[in-house]
């Protein structure tokens, strides 16, 4: 008596029809005989023209770019050559989002009082400083800073969800 993957007892007929058990029971060497290594195609021999016989066929390296001015000139040349591929041809999609520009926030560092009574911090307790965005300041190392702001929610915002 044997059990299937669901733990139920399988009949003798069901065991015989189990395709995956049959595949797993095959010997590995039998599976390998059907596989073959792909060989590269046979190509005709071709030779590049010798530099002595054809002056246009000779390889000539580009001039060395060894100054910032030469680098700028090469980059400008490459930008002009690639400009047609970098054009933006797709029409701009209208934005489906409503945005509220925010230029400043209230900011302050966490204090011991904030750790004792976080609800008071959320209510706006403590001394806050007005900072403009982007704001590059604050602590070095492990610390907590708070930012807050207010804005008006319009009917259009509410309609968007």
Beta bridge partners of 19: none
d(Cα 126, Cα 106) in Å, to the nearest integer? 11
Q: How far apart are CA 125 and CA 135, in angstroms?
A: 21
For the chain, give every domain's residue range. Answer: 104-160
Q: How far apart are CA 137 and CA 134, in angstroms?
A: 10
- Would you state the pLDDT for residue 69? 96
Contact predicate 145/86, CB 8 Å: no
Q: Which pLDDT score is estimated for 83?
A: 94
**Helix %, strand %, coil % for the chain, to 5?**
30, 10, 55
Q: Does the predicted TM-score (pTM) go above 0.75?
A: no
Q: How does pLDDT run across 80-105, given as a tens digit for each residue?
A: 999 999 998 999 888 888 888 888 99
- The answer to whether the peptide bond before residue 38 is cis (omega within 30 degrees of 0) is no
Question: C-alpha 9: how far from its chain's center?
Answer: 49
Maximum CA extent, the chain: 89
Q: What is the pLDDT of residues 105-139, one digit of tens each?
A: 999 989 999 889 999 988 888 899 999 988 887 77
């Amino acid at each position: 008596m044997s059990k299937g993957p669901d733990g139920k007892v399988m009949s003798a007929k069901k065991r015989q029809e189990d395709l995956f058990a049959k595949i797993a029971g095959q010997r590995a060497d039998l599976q390998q005989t059907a596989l073959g290594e792909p060989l590269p195609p046979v190509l005709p021999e071709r030779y590049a023209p010798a530099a002595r016989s054809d002056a246009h066929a000779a390889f000539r390296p580009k001039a060395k770019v060894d100054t910032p001015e030469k680098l700028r000139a090469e980059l400008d040349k490459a930008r002009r050559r690639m400009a047609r591929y970098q054009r933006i041809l797709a029409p701009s999609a209208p934005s489906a989002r409503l945005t509220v520009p925010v230029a400043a926030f209230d900011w302050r560092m966490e204090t011991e009082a904030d750790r004792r009574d976080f609800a008071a911090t959320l209510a706006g307790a403590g001394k806050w400083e007005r900072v403009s965005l982007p704001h590059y300041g604050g602590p070095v190392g492990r610390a907590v800073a708070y930012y807050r702001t207010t804005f008006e929610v319009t009917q259009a915002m509410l309609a968007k969800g």
